[in-house]
Structure 1
Amino acid sequence: MKHHDHDHAHDATLEELRQALTREFWDERYGGSERVWSGRPNQRLVEQTADLTPGRACDIGCGEGADAIWLAEQGWEVTAMDVSRVALDRTAQHAIEREVDDRVKVGEYDVLAGHPPRKPRHSEGFDLVSAQFMHVPREDFDEVYQRIAAAVAPGGRLLVVGHHPDDVETGARRPHGPGLLFPPEQVLAALGVEGGSSDDWEVEVVDSPVREQETEDGLMRVRDSIVRLRRRQ
């Protein structure tokens, strides 16, 4: 599941926005094309993990597996999770093709199902949990990200990247639906991080940089929300 190129109308109802997170929706989306995404890892993931020591990683909403496979090539043991069985099958096949299938496992995960991602056996969690462009309705945002964060092990990192709402104001993106795009501060608030720290989390990165993205109309400048937190020991 990767939501960064899927637009919703401003007048979409909450139920319609939630429907766009279901297995049925994404199985149909992936089933309609041999490849939906570029096959390249997300730029912000590459940047934000460059200084991390590989360990156990979880890629939430892995889509066709580009991020998970790239992490595996860097030495991470990766659990790639998505609501779509079609996406997971593609991730597994792409891992075989890139000869990293011994370091990539796949598993179904529905972000709205009400439970955290399953942790690795005999462990306290993952050393890295990555949620790239996981846009959910504002009504569900806090609980979804609290559950995702619960899978991070002590000393591990949570990396969240999303589209910044400024992109709609500048015309860089069409509306995704009310409340789907978010600033980095929204992630901090959801996890109870106030004033740059909390009892549970150390803030390592809070940023909203601009990058250039290729589109059918040429290059456009877009803004990303980036949050990287380290769970305290």
Structure 2
Amino acid sequence: MNQKPVLESAGLDGWIIRLFDTIDEHNLSWLSALSRRCEQAFGDALIDLVPSYTTLLVVFDPLMVSPCEARATIYRILADLEPEDSRHAGEIHELPTWYDTSVGPELTRVAEQAGIAVNDVIDAHSQQVYRVFALGFAPGFAFMGLTDPRLECARLGTPRKKVPPGSVAMAGRQTAAYPTATPGGWNLLGRTSASLFDRNREGFSLLRVGDQVRFVPVSREAFEREGGDTTPMEPLA
């Protein structure tokens, strides 16, 4: 880590620790190490840890530890923080994905912008192994990166009112799969049959920060056998 961490107040029960200013896969080993150390140092006083691409939000019980005490604890952790090694890497997930313009209407848009064929977009997206940087926006929604730089593509100008569950999408150099039906403005490339959010699953979300993910192309027939929804996307209004 080549920059000095910055602490920002998040009210009487939280501190935001800013470790980096830019998104990079290597940030994750530092943020994971910081999360682990905070869990150990705060113990029962810890309410929540919310990692992102460059920051970690630490939420604590102000009845057990004051903001000043929490800040001092964080500074002690930062004084000798070292990145986590590969032995603490998260789980590896392969998400079966049906790439098709009927469920991934922006496949053509991304291909045209990149100056490559649709099949090349599918190859580039599916051959990359992504790391989960953060969870947010909706329960179980995992922000992953980084995609092949050729595929970098801005969000849609007009977000959809409803994106079906399992929709595989990208924006900028991030990618994700929608766990539930929600509004969304990312470029849709296809759909996965994987169950990304389940209230009966421990932790609810299939994916966790630090996990590794690969989208595995499958045929429509294989997608349907796994319970995938082949309902075509409605055109944007």
TM-score over 0.5 (shorter chain): no
Q: Please report the TM-score for the alignment, with normalisation by the length of structure 1.
A: 0.28
Length-normalised TM-score, structure 2: 0.28
